[in-house]
Structure 1
């Protein structure tokens, strides 16, 4: 049976198809808030991002974008420092950005309140306007993805990436620095969704593999981690997500015949060549290399290649992840699984703090 006869018209697929319009709506809604974000950051020098799950992967992208394109020190905060250790920190020089698609994850809401008590200014990134996270923030960047019914985050995740780009450009000397490229993202996503170039071959390679690793680097690291998460939670396969550097420092030794290595790469940037070298190295070790995106030289270094967007590195993650979503959704169907409701997962994350 083909994937199409197993589960035609999944909710996940329908929500993936909504992403171009979700991107356009979110850009239109959030760009006017740049001045509010910039005003909030006045007198402050760093950004901390708080998130879990897919939202944490969006935060990884935001952190890299702030540091590489805006020159602002950024990092990921550990929510347990607030919720379990109740540490008293001086955050008077900090903008804390809390990210949750539902805006109702208790751990993230509590951490935002803690950050304000420690002197931070707060920005919420969420898809729900009336959520506790949005209502309690100094500025709420509410993405316009619409209700998401499938458990795997697709359009809400891409909406968070858009919000990260708007946040970063709001703090840049020239807020319009990425606007021309951001305006092309929705069209590139539409093109990828229509073409599905290489998706079927990637599904075959991953279906045959006994183990998989996913790697990326720099601005594409969040995309690699999100791809690994989606493969693991939606397709129930053992998958590890690594940065290029972490994979090189030891774990690469377990990559042998029978392993699928999924590499996500940008079309340009200082790490494009390194991803080609990694693909060649992994093939020499016996792995089947599935490449997503990358430079002109990248496809020939891979065994299977899934087309990515024609976008520069700074915004490529917003569309490259859609190519990965296509692979995940089709692979889940090929394995006889329901991509809309992965086993044991729910839409709103609950941690031990919530019980």
Structure 2
């Protein structure tokens, strides 16, 4: 959940690379930041708070360095504080370490080291690592051997990088936490994610679990746990550095909401044939039609999976959706010929990866539906389908949710046979219809009306149920206001007790999703003086009962929720904007959740 950046080389100023990298990783969420540069000795600066606090602590004249590492921390062990920020050092100050993940046996290691006289300054699990390394150095090991020996003692998930005083080398290792290497012309990089160094190079190597890397100015060497050199493949990232900028928008989130038409087009490109009204997903050419499907996912991806499961069930394939953190193959039967689909934007989500690994052990066929080429999910599953949304920097997922929904519609058509003409036509029109919603939305006006509401409720049926959950999640994430999503029929089974004249209800009333029944729920809340905002493709049906109407174009029923969700994204954005929230970096949240 934290961010790592590292660099060694002659082509760039080390401090500039580290600070640029940390800035590129801010979207992942953090509460402190720090850097370590090596040039004879180690120069370490770290501060609680935003990156600006670290910048203000740096010397005015800058810092010289031959190599360095940096880190943004999202607290797990110990509260946000300067002392808990990374990098961490050992008692002699000869090594600096940054770490993502959780070291599960750190208590035992800490007690062992304390018995040897080691004194710890922080509350973190990470601090045991530099202490272990320095103990090996004191015993006569060279830096690489000391690093390997220390990492070999760790249990849990980790991406670790270290630098040593008097050395230009950066050492790294990973286990169940992402780490990617960047190959430059005059130096080499490592990071948790590509945006940290994309302006310097687009050539990358993804480390696998159990691998170590040694980065020098002129070479990168990847080895396994035994020290044997591993053959690696170099991939080229198809991102322009401008893709990760704001392009004149006030926030990444609103930029990414407006990028949804293009993201959907990229997802559909060469997969939907307009002339023949056919769908062909090349990545799935060797995927046999499953007898049943189990989706595993978290957060927004879970809501997309709910949508995908309904698509499959309506086409005759039994499909279930599980929260990845609750998926246990020892308790959940995985019948033969089951396809387990992990829906994960980053391809690194720890809970989803754990579920997929369990499915692999159970003998299921696995498919990763992800945005990140070369991610852990993409490498470890039997099949992978990319959603092609491009980089998403805002913590609150927007365009990736739309692209996940579209990709799941393509998946459903691929495994169930020829789609209807109206289905293909709906996909073809979808990008332009999303653009229409963006251009015509009254979300800003509605947000001004209800920004001070006590709570927000979202209701929908069938396909719209998942979007009700997602609409509420967006409102929670970026406004910090109470919001709940419900299957519309469940409103009267308890939640109706919470409805007041200060709880606006956003109701998705659309054709193909039992609009008359949902309209009955609208009347229930209207009778209790709750404001009603109807998201609909049938204005004349709901206008007599709604305080506001947000229209979406008519389309195939499977795609109405994608259009409706755009309206809900805009509502949440404008409420948060008026409340002055930190929209791109909501408190306590991280973009890529790599701990269980």
TM-score over 0.5 (shorter chain): yes
Give, in whole Å, the separation in 2 of the partners of 1:190 and 1:239.
Answer: 27
Could you tell me which residue of structure 2 aligns to residue 199 of structure 1? Answer: 443
Deviations 1:130-186 (A, max 9, x none): 100011122211111111111111111111011110111112231455211111110
**What residue number does 1:298 align with?**
542
Q: In the TM superposition, what whole-angstrom CA distance separates every residue of 1:59-85 from its partner, at most 9, and x where no partner exists?
A: 1111111112x12111112434556x8
> Structure 2: how far apart are the matches of 1:94 and 1:269?
29
Structure with a larger share of its residues in strand = 2
**Residue aligning to 1:4:** none
Is 1:221 aligned to residue 462 of structure 2? no
Aligned to 2:269: 28
Confirm whether residue 146 of structure 1 aligns to residue 390 of structure 2: yes
Max radius of gyration: which structure?
2
Distance 1:8 1:249 in 2: 42
Length-normalised TM-score, structure 1: 0.90
Select the residue among 254, 263, 267 that pairs with 2:507. 263
Residue 264 of structure 1: CA displacement? Answer: 2.1
1:93 deviates by 2.6
Select 1:246's aligned residue among 485, 490, 501.
490
Of residues 157-166 and 268-277 in structure 1, the stretch that sits farther from structure 2 once superposed is: 268-277
Alignment of 1:330-341 (within 5 A): 330-341=574-585
**1:73 is matched with which residue: 298, 313, 318?**
318
User: Which residue of structure 2 aligns with residue 3 of structure 1?
Assistant: none
SS in 2 for 1:208: coil
**Paired residue for 1:64?**
310
Is 1:95 aligned to residue 339 of structure 2? yes
Contact 1:126–1:134 (Cα < 8 Å) also in 2: yes
**Cα distance, 1:9 vs. partner?**
2.3
Candidates 497, 515, 519, aligned match of 1:272: 515
1:3-51 CA-partner distances (Å, limit 9, x unpaired): xxxx962211111111111101111155575366475233x31111000
| Contact 2:296–2:327 under 8 Å retained in 1 | no
TM-score, scaled relative to structure 2: 0.55
> Structure 1's 321 and 88: CA in aligned 2 closer, same or farther, altered over 3 A?
closer
Distance 1:342 1:29 in 2: 36
Post-superposition CA distance 1:81-128 (Å, at most 9, x none): 556x85474432311110110000122112112112212111111100
Helix, strand or coil: the match of 1:122? Answer: strand
> How far apart are the structure 2 equivalents of 1:25 and 1:328?
25
My pick for the range that moved more, 155-164 or 175-184, is 175-184
Post-superposition offset of 1:241:
1.1
Quick one: structure 1 residues 162 and 125, their matched pair in 2 at CA, closer, same or farther if it must change by over 3 Å? Answer: same
| C-alpha RMSD of the superposition | 2.1
Aligned length: 341
Q: Cα distance, 1:208 vs. partner?
A: 3.2
Q: Do the aligned residues in 2 keep the contact of 1:30 with 1:142 (CA within 8 Å)?
A: no
Aligned to 1:96, the other structure's residue is in SS state strand
Change (3 A) 1:88 1:202: closer
Q: 1:184-227, CA deviations, whole angstroms, 9 ceiling, x for partnerless residues?
A: 1100011111112x213321332132122111111111111100
Say which structure, 1 or 2, has more relative contact order (CA 8 Å, 6+ apart).
1
- Whether the 8 Å CA contact 2:462–2:513 is kept in 1: the answer is no
8 Å Cα contact 1:104-1:132 kept in structure 2:
yes
The SS at the match of 2:491 is helix
Which residue is equivalent to 2:365?
Answer: 121
Distance (Å, rounded) in 2 between the aligned partners of 1:205 and 1:34: 44
Distance of aligned partners of 1:339 and 1:88 in 2 relative to their CA distance in 1, 3 Å threshold: closer
**Following TM superposition, by how much is the alpha carbon of 1:258 offset from its aligned partner in structure 2, in angstroms?**
1.6
Q: Assess if the C-alpha contact under 8 Å between 1:210 and 1:259 holds in 2.
A: yes
**Aligned twin of 2:551:** 307
Q: Secondary structure at the match of 2:505?
A: strand
Q: Which runs of 5+ in 1 are unaligned?
A: 1-6
Distance in 1 (CA, whole Å) between partners of 2:558 and 2:502 is 33
Kept after mapping to 1: 8 A contact 2:491/2:521: no
Query: Partners in 2 of 1:100 and 1:324 — Cα distance?
Result: 21
Q: Quickly say closer, same or farther: Cα 1:270–1:141, change in 2 above 3 A.
A: same
2:433 — aligned with what?
Answer: 188
For residues 108 and 201 of structure 1, do their structure 2 counterparts lie closer, same or farther at Cα, with a shift above 3 Å needed? Answer: same
- The gaps in structure 2 that reach 5 residues or longer are 1-247, 273-278
